[in-house]
């Protein structure tokens, strides 16, 4: 790997040149959210320390519990340092033949239920997409769990709510400030995310301050149901009380391990939900957000044909029917049990696909005022593989970001058709971010049939 140097408005940044890409790891985009900033919104960082930045290794990732899905969607073991000082981003830029070429920008938002995930995970490393779409791709970290989505403002008026969302907003501001120094087009920024990442983007589409900071949107497998101020009050005081009961001290003085133990205990005390209850999520703040979705930006959105199969993986993994209905009620979902036999695991999985993913997305598209919107469904599976028998939640990310090596690591190497699908999906992204359109008919209420990736 060769070293590459960039001059920016904040000083010099050192990255690496790898396989026709410039890559910059671990760029701090905000002041560290520690000490007096611990429970506050992110603050844009506009100067490197000593005007020099070594961006050749990943920064720490947000505090989070172990995530077996991250282990599964990897080809090798990786160990990332967890730290509250976690607000770092990574840049993947094709090395252009034309030095003066300005490239469109994609900002990738990871999923993980607002409890897990980070921008350094192997699955989210987008070298292949950057090259195929010929675009700058940025991955980043945002605060998770209690630190990201507890309404601290209700406990102390000097603190803030939606700190994780403020991290995401600050990345958008960082791009506007810095991306021209990396030959990026600050007037052509696409937000692209999956699951909680897609939900985060939808939250930003209501945030007044974010409206003019991005231009196109790609949403995969996630439709946001905002938390309310009233419900966030319950959760905030619950956390405060647990801090006193468990450690006899204020939440403000908790150490990192204590913070994690309280989050673990909180989740343990709640009834099982297979990850379908998002206890941490963006809160609707009427002081900073619009009730309506802002702007008229091109949208590419979709879901996988069997989302629910990752939540209910077999008859020994289903929820009790009564509990399944309670979780649905928590999410404002009314399940037709005549259509879906929720006493069986496959009935629960199918109901999750329909009521948690497909129908909410169609409703969102129907309410979105923009006229340029496209719908897709991801149908790929490999029946001969025990790990990829159905097109479940997350599986499409392998194709969007270019990680057929993960299939191979699970003894399901990609064939010619698989490689062709990966190229089709990434070329779809490349066309969309440049032209704001797809190669199939736009979505309307009267023609809601999706384009099929299979």
Confidence (pLDDT) at 370 = 84
Quote the percentage of the chain above a pLDDT of 90.
92
3-class DSSP state for residue 241?
Answer: helix
Q: Render pLDDT for 435-446 as a digit per residue (tens, 0 to 9).
A: 999 999 999 998
Residues of 381-394 as b/e, b for ≥16 C-beta within 10 angstroms?
bbeeeeebebbbbb
Confidence (pLDDT) at 314 = 85
Q: Render pLDDT for 266-305 as a digit per residue (tens, 0 to 9).
A: 989 998 899 999 999 999 999 999 999 998 999 999 999 9
156 vs 370, higher pLDDT: 156
Q: 295: number of CA atoms within 13 Å, CB side?
A: 22
Answer whether residue 366 shows pLDDT above 80. yes
Confidence (pLDDT) at 447 = 87
Strand pairing class (136-140; 103-109):
parallel
Q: How confident is the model at residue 3 (pLDDT cuts 50, 70, 90)?
A: very high
Cα angle 54, 176, 120; round to 5: 45
Range list of β-strands (E), 257-408: 299-304, 373-378
Tokens encoding 168: 């995401």
Q: How many Å apart are CA 65 and CA 256, to the nearest integer?
A: 12
Q: How far is CA 380 from the centre of its chain?
A: 21
Q: How confident is the model at residue 36 (pLDDT cuts 50, 70, 90)?
A: very high
Answer whether residue 98 shows pLDDT above 70. no
Residue at token pair 């990897």? 74
Q: Render pLDDT for 157-187 as a digit per residue (tens, 0 to 9).
A: 999 999 999 999 999 999 999 999 999 999 9
Q: Please count the residues of the chain.
A: 454
Q: Render pLDDT for 51-92 as a digit per residue (tens, 0 to 9).
A: 899 999 999 999 999 999 999 999 998 899 999 999 999 999
308-316 average pLDDT score = 91
Confidence (pLDDT) at 97 = 59
8 A C-beta contact, residue 146 and residue 263: yes
Q: How many Å apart are CA 245 and CA 92, to the nearest integer?
A: 46
DSSP string, 363-405: HHHHH---S-EEEEEE----TT-SS-SS--TTTTHHHHHT-HH
Domains of the chain plus CATH, in order, are 2-453 (3.40.50.1820)
Q: How confident is the model at residue 19 (pLDDT cuts 50, 70, 90)?
A: confident
DSSP H helices in 194-320: 196-204, 229-247, 256-269
Query: For 117-120, which contacts have Cβ atoms below 8 Å and span 24 or more sequence positions?
Result: 117/64, 117/67, 117/70, 117/144, 117/196, 117/197, 118/61, 118/62, 118/64, 118/80, 118/86, 119/61, 119/88, 119/89, 119/90, 120/25, 120/58, 120/59, 120/61, 120/80, 120/90
Confidence (pLDDT) at 1 = 75
Q: How many Å apart are CA 252 and CA 34, to the nearest integer?
A: 11
DSSP H helices in 39-154: 68-72, 127-133, 145-149
8 A C-beta contact, residue 127 and residue 121: no
Q: How many Å apart are CA 69 and CA 424, to the nearest integer?
A: 25
What is the overall mean pLDDT for the chain?
A: 96
Neighbours of 87 (CB within 10 A): 27
Q: How many Å apart are CA 68 and CA 250, to the nearest integer?
A: 32
Q: Is the pTM of this model over 0.85?
A: yes
Residues 6+ away with beta carbon under 8 Å from 123: 70, 73, 74, 397, 398, 401, 403, 406
């Amino acid at each position: 790997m060769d070293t590459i140097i960039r001059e920016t408005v904040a000083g010099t940044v050192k990255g690496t040149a790898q396989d026709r890409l410039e890559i910059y790891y671990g760029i701090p985009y905000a002041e560290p959210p520690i000490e007096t900033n611990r429970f506050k919104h992110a603050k844009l960082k506009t100067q490197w320390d000593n005007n020099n930045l070594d961006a050749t290794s990943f920064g720490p990732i947000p505090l989070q519990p172990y995530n077996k899905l991250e282990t599964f969607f990897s080809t090798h073991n990786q160990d990332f340092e967890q730290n509250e000082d976690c607000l770092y981003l990574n840049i993947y830029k094709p090395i252009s033949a034309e030095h003066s070429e300005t490239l469109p920008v994609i900002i990738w938002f990871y999923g993980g239920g607002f409890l897990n995930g980070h921008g350094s995970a192997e699955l989210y490393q987008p070298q292949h997409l950057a090259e195929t779409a010929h675009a700058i791709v940025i991955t980043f970290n945002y605060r998770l769990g209690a630190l990201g989505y507890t309404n601290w403002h209700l406990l102390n008026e000097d603190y803030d709510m939606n700190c994780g969302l403020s991290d995401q907003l600050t990345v958008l501001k960082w791009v506007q400030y810095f991306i021209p120094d990396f030959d990026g087009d600050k007037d052509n920024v696409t937000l692209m995310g999956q699951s909680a990442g897609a939900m985060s983007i939808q939250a930003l589409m209501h945030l007044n301050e974010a409206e003019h900071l991005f231009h196109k949107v790609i949403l995969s497998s996630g439709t946001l149901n905002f938390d309310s101020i009233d419900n966030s009050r319950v959760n905030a005081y619950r956390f405060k009380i647990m801090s006193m009961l468990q450690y006899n001290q204020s939440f403000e003085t908790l150490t990192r391990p204590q913070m994690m133990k309280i989050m673990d205990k909180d989740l343990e005390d709640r009834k099982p939900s297979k990850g379908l209850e998002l206890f941490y999520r963006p809160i609707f703040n009427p002081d900073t957000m619009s009730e309506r979705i802002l702007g008229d930006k091109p949208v590419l959105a979709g879901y996988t044909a069997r989302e629910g199969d990752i939540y209910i993986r077999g008859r020994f993994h289903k929820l009790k029917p009564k509990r399944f209905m309670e979780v649905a009620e928590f999410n404002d979902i009314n399940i037709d049990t005549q259509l879906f036999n929720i006493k069986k695991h496959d009935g629960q999985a199918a109901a999750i696909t329909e009521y948690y993913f497909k129908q909410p997305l169609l409703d969102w598209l129907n309410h979105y005022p923009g006229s340029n919107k496209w719908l897709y469904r991801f149908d790929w599976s490999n029946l001969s593989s025990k790990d990829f028998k159905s097109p479940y939640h997350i599986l499409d990310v392998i194709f969007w970001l270019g990680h057929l090596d993960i299939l191979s690591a699970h003894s399901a190497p990609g064939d010619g058709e698989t490689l062709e699908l990966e190229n089709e999906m990434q070329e779809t992204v490349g066309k969309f971010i440049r032209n704001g359109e797809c190669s199939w008919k736009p979505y309307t209420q009267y023609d809601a049939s999706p384009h099929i990736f299979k």
